[in-house]
């Protein structure tokens, strides 16, 4: 089979269609719309079938013949010997469980000499920092605003702490997360 080069062949120019505005007369000349005609014969046949079916159902309801179905004979229930009384079961664990205690060695949490702080925001203006501090105060926590100067200007940091354990800082972080303050980070206290 020979190969054809469809790319170099190019495209055939398409004919431009003229925009014709249709007038009311042009629409009417296109021909009448097809009319929906219902065959009265078909409607009559359907109605006749429905009436005939209804008559059939009405006529057979009175002609019900009883089938020769007889109830099953009841078998006499054989009286079986009564079962012996169940022996009383005794479980040993009921008696031994209250006196049984397991001792678990729990390692004490080591006291860290490091303290933690939680920074929740850093703003260019003191007013924004005060606003964040007020949101935190509504949660029953006391925040501080610390000013820090750096290469990129003056910043106002909103911090909480110091916390002796990181677990305490995490607890405060989760409480603030519930009120949609999600920017808090926990660091070592080295101010």
At the top level of CATH, the class of 116-188 is: alpha beta
Domain layout of the chain by residue ranges:
116-188
DSSP string, 108-166: PPPPPS--EEEEEEEESSHHHHHHHHHHHHTTT--EEEEEEEETTEEEEEEEEEEESSH
pLDDT in tens, 170-180: 999 999 999 99
Q: State pLDDT tens for residues 20-56.
A: 555 555 555 555 555 456 688 889 999 999 999 999 9
Q: Is the pTM of this model over 0.75?
A: no
End-to-end Cα, the chain, rounded Å:
83
d(CA 52, CA 59): 11
Residue 18: the pLDDT is 62
């Amino acid at each position: 089979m020979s190969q054809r080069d469809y790319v170099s062949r190019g495209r055939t120019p398409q004919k431009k269609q003229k925009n014709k505005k249709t007038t009311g007369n042009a629409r009417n000349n296109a021909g009448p719309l097809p009319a929906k005609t219902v065959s009265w014969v078909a409607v009559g046949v359907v109605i006749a079938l429905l009436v005939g079916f209804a008559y059939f159902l009405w006529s057979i309801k009175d002609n019900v013949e009883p089938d020769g179905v007889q109830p099953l004979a009841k078998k006499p229930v054989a009286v079986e010997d009564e079962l012996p009384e169940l022996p009383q079961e005794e479980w040993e664990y009921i008696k031994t469980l209250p006196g049984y205690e397991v001792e678990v060695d729990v390692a004490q949490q080591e006291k860290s000499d490091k303290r933690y702080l939680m920074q929740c925001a850093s703003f260019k203006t003191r007013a924004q920092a005060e606003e964040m501090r007020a949101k935190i105060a509504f949660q029953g926590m006391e925040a501080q605003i610390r000013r820090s100067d750096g290469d990129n200007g003056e910043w106002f940091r909103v911090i909480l702490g110091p916390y002796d354990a990181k677990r305490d800082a995490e607890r405060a972080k989760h409480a603030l997360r519930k009120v949609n303050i999600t920017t808090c980070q926990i660091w070592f206290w080295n101010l």
